[in-house]
């Protein structure tokens, strides 16, 4: 495990799910972990859980779609922690439906949180990272953004946009020594997939070369590598954590 001692990492949407696993793994690597989510109770519980295990975590409440709030948050983080070394844009939602049945509000919500949220947090964090002339930004995309999926046009558009956004930011920020990469998880074991029947899980496994679903820890390990100095010559990349599903 890479040592992230004296590194401060902000992870959006990290009070539960994959984001929580990422936060826990970074805490194990000695990073100061900043939990950002809308659910105050979940934030408090996650922070307590990490700290009780010997980690160092702090909780913040806010919406990634609120530009003014995120700008104030970044200033608060710099004031309280002195710096921000890494930002992981993990906050996201799904509102799946077939195109003919998809409501405009479901399209707008998914694009707003998944894509606009990443834009806002990246822009506000970059203002501080550019002064330090160092930083790593990691966008949690999805293999759906690479290959599309029926019934997920809004989600695919948001994650595909995030991948393109990653490349543009990487080109803009490189002169300031700030790297930007995307992680694209495939079929990952989560609370949502836990309720799937054995038959459905077997069907998923058939299309994955490694013949199994991944774990949130697989995603967390890649994020830690991309945030560490071990990946200092990697930027503008989208790396799939998908068991070979989207290999070309």
Q: Which residues are designated catalytic?
A: 155
Strands 32-37 and 135-140: unpaired
Strand partners, 79: none
> What is the 3 state secondary structure string of 89-121?
ECCCCCCCCCHHHCCHHHHHHHHHHHHHHHHHH
Cα–Cα distance measured from residue 224 to residue 234, given in angstroms and rounded to the nearest whole number = 13
Phi, psi of 8 (to 5 degrees): -110, 125
> What is the 3 state secondary structure string of 29-94?
CCCEEEEEECCHHHHHHHHHHHHHCCCEEEEEECCCCCHHHHHHHHHHHHHHHCCCCEEEECCCCC
Cα–Cα distance measured from residue 107 to residue 94, given in angstroms and rounded to the nearest whole number = 9
Strand partners, 8: 32
Inter-axis angle of helices 67-81 and 117-132, nearest 10:
30
């Amino acid at each position: 495990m890479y040592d992230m001692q004296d590194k401060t990492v902000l992870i959006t949407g990290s009070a539960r799910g994959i984001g929580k696993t990422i936060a826990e793994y970074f805490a194990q690597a000695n990073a100061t972990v900043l939990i950002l989510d809308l659910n105050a109770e979940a934030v408090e519980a996650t922070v307590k859980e990490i700290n009780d295990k010997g980690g160092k975590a702090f909780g913040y409440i806010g919406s990634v779609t609120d530009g003014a709030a995120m700008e104030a948050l970044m200033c608060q983080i710099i004031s309280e922690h002195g710096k921000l070394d890494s930002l992981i844009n993990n906050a996201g939602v799904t509102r799946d439906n077939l195109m003919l049945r998809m409501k405009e509000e479901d399209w707008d919500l998914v694009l707003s949180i998944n894509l606009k949220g990443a834009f806002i947090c990246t822009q506000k964090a970059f203002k501080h990272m550019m002064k330090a002339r160092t930083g790593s930004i990691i966008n949690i995309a999805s293999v759906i953004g690479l290959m599309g999926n029926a019934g997920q046009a809004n989600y695919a558009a948001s994650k595909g946009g995030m991948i393109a956004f990653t490349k543009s930011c990487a080109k803009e920020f490189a002169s300031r020594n700030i790297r930007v990469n995307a992680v694209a998880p495939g079929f990952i074991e989560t609370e949502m997939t836990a309720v799937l029947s054995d038959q459905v899980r077997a069907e998923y496994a058939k299309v994955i070369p490694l013949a199994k679903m991944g774990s949130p820890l697989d995603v967390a390990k890649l994020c830690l590598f991309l945030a560490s100095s071990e990946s200092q010559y990697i930027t503008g990349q989208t790396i799939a954590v998908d068991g070979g599903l989207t290999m070309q």
